[in-house]
């Protein structure tokens, strides 16, 4: 399994002959190395409905006929756009031909905002994602604050790689994310959701310095890890 980081919260997983994306926010992402028009995808996993996570999902999914996996309300909304979707809810898991997906809780919000009509559309509960394939487990926390049940997630899952937000303001900051890393007991931890916007400016190396030696790793957009 190869896992690559592409700025903000964008993660690419290549496993079992499939290309899987998590939160493909590319257009408007100042920290990505990608061009949405050239992205190939078999599957897209979404943590929640905010624009900086759903991102280019509709365009990418339509062009690639990709399966989109999301919370029930967000999956319904995207199915109305003509996408092939699979709805899931917190605590549930499903084994696909490319791997197992389990949806965890996250403490945040989830909505689509239409500024023209000043309408806010609820898109279900925000989530984290546990993805398991080839005997390896990747945890993407989505956007979340620190919550104590991260200890349960860590105790019940052998996490090889965790992606944790550190941007503060809307999510955990550096110090809370370091506690989350301790509770999750992941073998490797990569910081995400920072420096894309002025109000989430953080030093990822400061975060890594709070973790046990060798656990934290700062990835530049386009850098990956082999599991």
The answer to whether 96 and 68 have CB atoms below 8 angstroms apart is no
What is the 8-class DSSP label of residue 212? P
pLDDT for 3? 98
pLDDT for 203? 98
pLDDT for 13? 98
CATH 1.10.10.10 for domain 2-213: no
Can you tell me which residue has the tokens 């990418």? 60
pLDDT for 97? 96
pLDDT for 143? 98
Domain parsing of the chain, residue ranges: 2-213
Q: Which two tokens stand for residue 194?
A: 């920072």
Alpha helices in the chain (DSSP H): 51-54, 57-64, 72-79, 150-156, 174-184, 204-209
Between the two ends of the chain, the Cα-to-Cα distance in Å is: 5
Q: How far apart are CA 196 and CA 28, in angstroms?
A: 9
pLDDT for 64? 98
The answer to whether 13 and 40 have CB atoms below 8 angstroms apart is no
Model-level pTM? 0.98
Calculate the alpha carbon distances from 150 to 147, 163, 182, 198, 210 in Å. 6, 13, 9, 28, 18
Q: How far apart are CA 106 and CA 22, in angstroms?
A: 15
pLDDT per residue as tens, the chain (227 positions):
999 999 999 999 999 999 999 999 999 999 999 999 999 999 999 999 999 999 999 999 999 999 999 999 999 999 999 999 999 999 999 999 999 999 999 999 999 998 899 999 999 999 999 999 999 999 999 999 999 999 999 999 999 999 999 999 999 999 999 999 999 999 999 999 999 999 999 999 999 999 999 999 999 999 999 99
pLDDT for 189? 98
């Amino acid at each position: 399994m190869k896992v690559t980081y592409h700025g903000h919260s964008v993660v690419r997983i290549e496993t079992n002959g499939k290309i899987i994306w998590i939160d493909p926010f590319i257009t408007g992402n100042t920290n990505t190395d990608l061009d949405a028009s050239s992205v190939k995808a078999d599957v897209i996993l979404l943590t929640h409905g905010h624009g900086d996570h759903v991102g280019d999902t509709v365009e990418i999914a339509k062009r690639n006929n990709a399966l989109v996996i999301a919370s029930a309300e967000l999956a319904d909304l995207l199915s109305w756009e003509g996408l092939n979707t699979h709805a899931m809810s917190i605590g549930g898991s499903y084994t696909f031909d490319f791997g197992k997906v389990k949806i965890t809780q996250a403490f945040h919000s989830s909505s689509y905002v239409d500024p023209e009509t000043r309408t806010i559309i609820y898109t279900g509960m925000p989530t984290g994602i546990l993805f398991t394939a080839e005997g390896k487990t990747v945890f993407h926390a989505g956007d979340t604050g620190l919550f104590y049940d991260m200890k349960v997630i860590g105790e019940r899952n052998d996490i090889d790689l965790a992606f944790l937000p550190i941007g503060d303001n809307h999510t955990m900051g550096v110090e809370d994310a370091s506690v989350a890393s301790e509770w999750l007991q992941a073998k490797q931890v990569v910081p995400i959701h920072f420096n894309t916007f002025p109000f989430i400016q953080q030093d990822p190396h400061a975060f890594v310095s709070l973790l046990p030696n060798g656990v934290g790793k700062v990835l530049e957009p386009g850098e990956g890890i082999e599991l």
